[in-house]
Amino acid sequence: MIRDYGIINTKRGYEIIMRKAVYAGSFDPLSNGHIDIMERAAKLVDKLYVLVTVNIDKHSTFTIEERVNMIKKVVKADNIEVAWTDDLVVKFAEEQGATALIRGLRNIKDFESEIALYHFNRNIDNKIETIVLFPTYLYTYLSSSAIRELVYYNQDITPYVPDILKDEIIKGIKRSLKKA
C-alpha cells in the first residue's frame, strides 16, 4: 500500500507527511456556521488552511484583510492557518500540498452549486478530493447574506456570529450600505 501521509521511511530516512486540507470561502462576513465547519474539519487533518477568496462576481462588504483578521481573532485550533488568495482554490491547494477541499453543505440549494464546484475543481486537478460536512442544525439556513440582511433591518445577529466580532460586523455592514 502506498501511504501518502503519516511517518514514512524513504531513501532519505524517516519523513513526516502531513494530511492538509483547504476550507475556502468568501466569509463576508464570517458566521458561526463557518466556524462550526472549520473547527470540525481541523480535527480530520493535520493542517487546515482557511482560505479567504476574492469572488470575481461579487462586490464584497469586507475587505480581504478585514475578513482574514476576523477569522484570525476567533480561530482556536493550532493546526489552522488563515490565508487569502486571488487565484483558484485548487492552485492554492496544490502549492501547499493539500489533498482535500472542505465544503459545508447546508441544504438542497447548496447541493447544486457544490456539485458544480466539485466537478469544476476536479477538472483542474483530479487528485484533490472534496470533503463535504453538514452543518449543526442551528446553522443549516445561516448564510453571510442572511447576516447582512438582518443587520440591514436592525435585527439581532447575536446567535449567528462570534461575540467578539459582532460590533465590527454590524459596523462594516452599515458602512457598506451607506456606500451603496
Q: Which of 58, 91, 109, 119 is catalytic?
A: 58
Cβ contact 49:22 at 8 Å: yes
Query: In this structure, what C-alpha cell is assigned to residue 71?
Result: 477569522
Amino acid type, 53 = T
Instruction: Tell me which DSSP letter residue 44 carries.
Output: T
Active-site residue flag, 103? no
Is 144 one of the catalytic residues?
yes
Tell me: does residue 103 bind ligand ADP (CB under 6 A): yes
Name the segment binding ligand ADP (CB under 6 A); options: 76-84, 101-109, 123-131, 149-157: 101-109
Of 9 and 156, nearer to ligand ADP (C-beta) is 156
Applying CB under 6 A, which of residues 21, 22, 27, 40 lies at the interface with ligand ADP?
27
Q: Which of 19, 106, 122, 166 is catalytic?
A: 106
Number of residues counted as binding ligand ADP (CB under 6 A):
16
- The 51-90 contact track toward ligand ADP, x by CB under 6 A, reads ----------------------------------------
Q: Does 33 bind ligand ADP (CB under 6 A)?
A: yes
Contact 151, 171 (CB under 8 A): no
Cis omega (within 30 of 0) for bond into 29: yes
Give catalytic status of residue 59 as yes or no: no
Q: Does 142 contact ligand ADP by CB under 6 A?
A: yes
Does residue 106 touch ligand ADP according to CB under 6 A?
Answer: yes
* 58 is a catalytic site residue: yes
By CB under 6 A, is residue 135 in contact with ligand ADP?
yes
| Distance between CA atoms of residues 15 and 174, nearest Å | 51
Can you list the alpha helix ranges (DSSP code H) found in the chain? Answer: 32-42, 64-74, 89-96, 108-124, 144-152, 166-179
User: In whole angstroms, how far apart are CA 33 and each of 94, 98, 134, 156, 179?
Assistant: 26, 23, 10, 16, 27
15: three-class secondary structure by DSSP: strand
Per CB under 6 A, residues contacting ligand ADP are: 25-27, 31, 33-34, 37, 103-104, 106, 110, 135, 139, 142-144
